[in-house]
């Protein structure tokens, strides 16, 4: 069975959505690093840096949101949540899947940290260039990578929603519509319920 290593208020929370999308059973194992908890051997195998989220699936162990998303879609939903290897949409799918860790999240860190932008040195250029990239991509499109929802949409939309929630970005109308389409999925509601139950169990 799939095991998700998680803790409240971490990136692991969005993994609930990804797991609900593939419609496979999964269990939760909390790693409360904030209280100095010691990681299990299985967690250390999945996440050498002791970072969340991490996941084990029988003999497969891995960490990082985008890597987990790619693995789950390819293993459990190829052709549905992940374009097939010979699908022309596979290239854009991979690009936007890893746009979050390679461009969006570093740009957030730069902005929040008050660092001087270095557009010729950093791959995301500037924060505004980064947001402009997904705004341009979504013009006239329902989904970020292909004609149907993919796992890249779950990763991208949750990241865009994050910067919007913290007032770092104001979604333009067509991006706001995109976020609404993503969060209107039944799997999103199911994930919210599972997370609520998990939080209640900690009380």
Q: Give the pLDDT confidence score for residue 113 in this predicted structure.
A: 78
Q: What structural domains and CATH numbers belong to the chain? A: 2-79+187-202 (3.40.30.10), 90-185 (1.20.1050.10)
Calpha distance 160→156 (Å, rounded): 6
- pLDDT of 127 over the 80 cut: yes
104: closest CA among 140, 176, 152? 152
* Contact predicate 26/4, CB 8 Å: yes
Detail the DSSP E strand segments found in the chain.
Answer: 2-6, 26-30, 54-57, 60-63
pLDDT in tens, 31-75: 887 676 778 888 889 999 989 999 999 999 999 999 999 999 999
Mean pLDDT (the chain, rounded) = 93
- pLDDT of 121 over the 70 cut: no
List the end-to-end C-alpha distance of the chain, in Å, as a whole number.
26
pLDDT in tens, 143-159: 999 999 999 999 999 99
- pLDDT of 203 over the 90 cut: no
5: closest CA among 64, 38, 53? 53
- pLDDT of 114 over the 90 cut: no
Give the pLDDT band (50/70/90) at residue 142.
very high
Least confident of 92-101, 105-114, 143-152: 105-114
């Amino acid at each position: 069975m799939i095991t998700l290593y998680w803790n409240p208020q971490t990136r692991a929370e969005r993994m609930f959505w990804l797991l609900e999308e593939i419609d496979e059973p999964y269990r939760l194992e909390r790693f409360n690093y904030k209280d100095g908890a010691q990681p299990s051997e299985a967690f250390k195998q999945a996440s050498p840096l002791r970072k969340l989220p991490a996941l084990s699936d029988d003999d497969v162990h891995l960490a990082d949101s985008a890597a987990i998303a790619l693995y789950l879609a390819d293993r459990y939903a190829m052709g549905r949540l992940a374009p097939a290897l010979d699908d022309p949409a596979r290239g854009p799918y991979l690009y936007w899947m890893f746009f979050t860790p390679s461009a969006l999240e570093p740009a957030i860190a730069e902005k929040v940290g008050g660092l001087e932008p270095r557009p010729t040195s950093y791959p995301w250029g500037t924060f505004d260039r980064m947001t402009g990239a997904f705004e341009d991509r979504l013009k006239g499109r329902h989904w970020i990578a292909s004609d149907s929802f993919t796992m890249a949409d779950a990763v991208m939309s949750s990241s865009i929603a994050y910067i919007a929630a913290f007032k770092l970005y104001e979604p333009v109308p067509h991006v706001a519509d995109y976020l609404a389409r993503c969060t209107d999925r039944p799997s999103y509601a199911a994930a919210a319920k599972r997370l609520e139950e998990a939080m209640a169990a900690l009380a």
